[in-house]
Amino acid sequence: MAGMLLKETWPMYIGGKPRTSTHLREIRDPGTDAVIAAVPLAQREDARDAVRVAESGAAIAAHMPTHERMRILQECADRLAAQHEAFAELIARESSKTIREARKEVTRCVDTLRLSAEEARRIGGEVIRFDQSVGSDSRMGYWQRDPVGIITAITPFNDPLNLVAHKVGPAIATGNAVILKPSNDTPLSALRFAELLYDSGLPGDVLSVITGEAQEIGALLTSAEAVRMVSFTGGLKTGTAIARQAGLKKIAMELGSNSPVIILADAELDRAVESTVSGAFWAAGQNCLGVQRILVEKRVYHTVRDQLVARTEAIRMGDKLNETTDMGPLINSQEATRIEHWVKDAQSRGGKILTGGYREGNFYAPTLLDHVPAGTMILEEEVFGPVACLIPVDDLTSAIAQANRVNYGLQAGVFTRDLHRAFHAIKDLRVGGVMINDSSDYRIDAMPFGGVKGSGIGREGVRFAAEAMTEPKVVCFNLSVPQGRNDE
């Protein structure tokens, strides 16, 4: 693996065939700023070729037997499991994740592939009782799910392997072709993942991985008439622009959040604190599910605040490949600087730093704030960094009102031992998922995942992505014998 990373130029793949370019982008380790590789910057002709190849790939994929789709996905999972540590090191080198966080991502990716293989056998349909309608006594039939065709999948930097699998796995399972555009910051995991799929027998035309700038190739990959679905994970602003570009086709978007956690006075506070801190600072807070607002019932506010500060100050920030490191850097200097500006803005408006609040290069210390007034950027938007704000609340009703106030609604966490209060929160929180006695950051890869309002459209999670990547088709047989026909 080390040799694979030493400033080599990696190719992208158009229809399974490696392609390079004279236009390159350096890939840097965000912790050290060292160049670890370079990848092509695709041009418009490359994007056109990817769409053209995907048209033949869609026909190949649609006619691939279910057992063959399953075999490819299971074999890919086996190959990934066999290279578990190499992939973990690759993720840790190109992204913000520590080696321990990266290992968990690889493990999850293996599971995502196996879930996708199983879903291939489950995608089906139902018998339709046509004779329920007067005049249709002689008709019978069913509906089935057919692949949409070509899917453009656009993935972010924060989970450079598993979020790729969440789009590519269900697409293959349901017989689609995929054009994958990974993050410019973390394309290496996606490229190596594609190689595993090709080595597992996936026909090249079924999957292209194209690296490049959105300004150059993005509109071609999303607006092409042949592309029938766009699956995007990223920011609200970019997602809105893609939706306008895409035109009349299926869209699935996970667009981030500003996730609340509610800690009530009757909660098991030690558990609540540990889970909330983990949820806020996993992957340096670069996590769409990351805890951003911590709403604490006033009766226990000072106790919880002090425990949160103590637990946050115990986080070890540093070298991602060190087994004892808890938190790595932001993905690049622009993001680290943005976080710094947001915290300073909160301070200028009266916010108080309880711990952290400083930057060292691409690293930003895990930070807790309180007394941040409503309307401040860090309370209204997705911070996507290691910063969380504490907010005292009178009761559950006021906590829910605060949680629902922003234009996001991905997931929320609620800590309480009272079932009635738990169900009150479940009913009234306007989010895609409510985690009781877990932070907003809890997720398994089999569950429906997505949000409301500015948090997106549709749901990921293998089964739910697979359904979105198919279209129902009705089949009806008229079995009446035509008049005048006699087969006797």
Catalytic site positions: 254, 288
Are 209 and 231 in contact by the 8 Å Cβ rule? The answer is no
Measured between alpha carbons, how far is 139 from 466 in angstroms, rounded to an integer? 30
- Phi then psi for 136, rounded to 5 degrees? -115, 25
Q: Over the Cα atoms of the chain, what is R_g? A: 24
Tell me the one-letter amino acid at 321. Answer: L
Measured between alpha carbons, how far is 35 from 172 in angstroms, rounded to an integer? 33
Judged by DSSP in three states, 8 sits in strand
Nearest one of 391, 484, 464 to 122, comparing CA atoms:
464
What phi-psi label fits residue 175: left (phi over 0), alpha (psi between -120 and 50 degrees) or beta?
A: left
Assigned token pair, 201: 């027998």
Helix (H) or strand (E) holding 396: helix 396-403
Contacts of 472 (CB under 8 A, 6+ apart): 125, 143, 144, 145, 146
3-state helix, strand, coil in the chain (%, to 5): 40, 25, 35
Measured between alpha carbons, how far is 229 from 224 in angstroms, rounded to an integer? 10
First to last CA, the chain: 74
